[in-house]
Amino acid sequence: MIADHDILIMGAGLAGMRAALEAARAGANVAIVTKVHPIRSHSSAAQGGINAAISEDDTWESHAFDTVKGSDYLADQDAVEVMCREAPSDIIEFEHMGVIFYRNEEGKLGRRAFGGASLARTYFVGDITGQALLVTLYDQILKAGVKVYEEWFATALHMEDGACRGLIALEMVTGELHLLRSKAVIVASGGLGRLYEPSTNALICTGDGYSLAYRAGAPLMDMAMVQYHPTTLAGSGFLMTEAARGEGAYLLNSEGDRFMKKYAPNKMELAARDVTSRAEATEIAEGRGIDGNVLLDLRHLGRDVILKKLPQIHEMALDYLDIDMIEQPVPVRPGMHYQMGGIQTNVDGATKVPGIYAAGEVACVSVHGGNRLGANSLLDTIVFGRRSGKASAEYAKSVPQSGGGEDLLRREQARLTDLLSRPYTGETCAGLRLELATMMDAKVGLYRSDAGLKEALQALHGFRKRYENVAVGDKGRIFNQALTFVLELGFMLDCGETIIHDALHRTESRGAHTRVDHPERNDQEWLKHSLLTFRESGEPALSHVPVTLTRWKPEVRTY
């Protein structure tokens, strides 16, 4: 099948659907292509809340400063200003759409504290904020009648004269490959957590968009900046929201000590995530952990606060660890959570490649720099989702509809047929993925070193070779997930390679990127973004662009 639209959006999480709604409002013919039903998108897993300077005692400048400081000064301050200035009206718009935000006594939006913030500015719905935003936005998409190609898996971007004019997608239910043409594509496909084991991310977060855009020529920026969340559940690695600490929970070591007083005497448990995760890792490494974990203690918050404001994590600890947090502390540890880096964009979601826009976790504007503050990711998705929807619709007006693409469709068809006919040689997709992801966690995780990263790079090259031998364990057409898993593993290898390259070259410690052999931040040499550009043969090309500073000079960062 061949279909034509003005704007195609890859991904139906918050960024993608917000972009779709905005582009539709601007009169564009919009369609969303998503490999899972929109409601299954990983935005629903965001728990704690969304930041904005809404209350009278707050200012957008304060929010912006906290964000810049949290980023370890790697965020572009002009972009942060845009996000923080537009945050209040974007959140209010969601309230008008029907999100049932928590209210204060006056019936106005009520807030909670979050990490790295100088005052409470996180707005929320219990501990299901992402889900509450996602279902509301999905229903708005239904109301607006936006076309959704549901369970369609994007395999390639359609490029014409150096510009992106659509994509090829596999319809899971029929196994048919389709050409969808457009004037612009917004990549809003989310993160890459499956590249790490363990991770808080869903099984669908496989870096598809990073890889497709990268191979189409869009540079990836600051890929080394991979966030480890301080509180992931022992064993499963599921997310225990920062809102627990926002509501007042303690972090304890094996001696029952609130150890954060050593690392962040002012903010304690509410220091930025990179600081808190490293503090936990240090405690565990120095023998004050409990089976590789520390404890998250909520008991003093009381039953009511836990059941009313944190019901989901209460249920998760019960379901997966048999621990009732009302009565017992919960063992947690740092775990891979978020990719700050991504497809380089401007504040309108535009990339270096005409026709490719990006928004949400897959994009790097950069508002998170070296470390994202909790409750800034939902904000990122709705502000820059909206902006990229609007800008792409405007761009589409000046672009003629593409007439080509059939060659690419045939090439992709041939590629998939080849893949399906590959003989089984003993190499499994799942086995290779697990080796890759375990390696990434060990060598490209919370702590990194020159030697470790070089080993990682070598390992990755080995994985790439072995990837050529991975067979597809299902020869059917209908809902062939074995096929899409192999494609996803290919995306993850690209992501891994760019992360390792960036981490290897950035010889300093900044934000989430901690080099044990270069423990200090080095503004002299490294107050700049890294760009990784795809090259047909060999390693990605590395280049740099300056960080945009507007009003905040880099300072020593303490909490």
List active site positions. 229, 245
Min CB(137)–another protein separation in Å: 10
Q: Residue 134 contacts by C-beta under 8 Å, 6 or more apart in sequence? A: 13, 14, 17, 38, 39, 41, 43, 44
Tell me how far, at minimum, the Cβ of 89 lies from another protein, in Å. 6
Contact 284, 446 (CB under 8 A): no
Residues 349 and 213: beta-carbon distance below 8 Å: no
The C-alpha angle 122, 240, 58, rounded to 5 degrees, equals 10
Strands (DSSP E) contained in 113-190 are: 122-123, 147-150, 152-160, 163-171, 176-181, 184-187
Name the minimum Å distance from CB 128 to another protein.
6
Residue holding tokens 């992501």? 495
Q: What's the rounded Cα separation, in Å, for the pair 67 and 263? A: 20
How far apart CA 125 and CA 381 sit, in angstroms, is: 17
Q: Which of 184, 156, 138, 169 is nearest to 12 (CA)?
A: 138
Nearer to another protein, 135 or 163 (CB): 135
Q: How many residues belong to the chain?
A: 559
d(CA 294, CA 252): 6
The β-bridge relationship of strands 184-187 and 7-10 is parallel
Instruction: Find the shortest distance in angstroms from Cβ 203 to another protein.
Output: 5
- Local structure of 334: helix, strand or coil: strand
Q: Measured between alpha carbons, how far is 16 from 6 in angstroms, rounded to an integer?
A: 15
Shortest distance in whole angstroms from residue 485 CB to another protein: 8
Cis peptide before 211 (omega within 30 of 0): no
Which of 108, 454 has the CB closer to another protein? 108
| Shorter beta-carbon distance to another protein: residue 248 or 473 | 473
CB closer to another protein, 268 vs 482: 482
Question: 20 phi and psi, to 5 degrees?
Answer: -60, -45
Nearer to another protein, 65 or 479 (CB): 479
Q: Are 268 and 261 in contact (CB under 8 A)?
A: yes
SS3 content of the chain, % helix, strand, coil (to 5): 40, 20, 40
**Residue with smaller CB distance to another protein, 461 or 475:** 475
Binding residues vs another protein (CB under 8 A): 36-37, 39-42, 44-45, 88-89, 92-93, 95-98, 100-110, 125-126, 128, 131-132, 135-136, 139-140, 142-143, 173, 202-204, 236, 238, 308, 312, 315-316, 319-320, 322, 428-431, 472-482, 485
In whole angstroms, how close is the CB of 183 to another protein at the nearest point? 28
AA identity, residue 273: R
Q: How far is the CB of 282 from another protein (least distance, A)?
A: 28
Tokens of 457: 């790079």
| Range list of H helices, 166-310 | 208-215, 243-246, 260-263, 273-283, 302-309
Q: Which is nearer to another protein, 126 or 329 (CB)?
A: 126
Q: Which is nearer to another protein, 316 or 547 (CB)?
A: 316
Nearest distance, CB of residue 551 and another protein, angstroms: 24
